[in-house]
Amino acid sequence: MQISINGTVHDVKATNLDELLSECGYTTDRLATAVNETFVPRAQRSTTELTANDRVEILAPMQGG
């Protein structure tokens, strides 16, 4: 199904958020996730089912003032 990941649409096999991170090569713990503008804690990724056209945000540390 098609999922938007950080603003770009991807065709993925994953059915939950945890699988999506693995499928897309995100292996570190130093990430935070949101689905459809709602924060999904690390502990809930494996139980967060994805549906077509979901919008997933994967954020990481970045420079800031």
- Give the footprint of other proteins on this chain (CB under 8 A): 6-7, 25-26, 28, 30-34, 37-39, 41-42, 57-65
Can you spell out the DSSP letters for 8-32?
EEEE---SBHHHHHHHTT---SS-E
| Alpha-carbon distance values, 5 to 29, 46, 64, 65 (Å) | 17, 17, 22, 26
Please report how close the Cβ of residue 6 comes to other proteins at its closest, in angstroms. Answer: 4
Please report how close the Cβ of residue 22 comes to other proteins at its closest, in angstroms. Answer: 14
The smaller minimum CB distance to other proteins, of residues 13 and 64, is found at: 64
Please report how close the Cβ of residue 63 comes to other proteins at its closest, in angstroms. Answer: 4
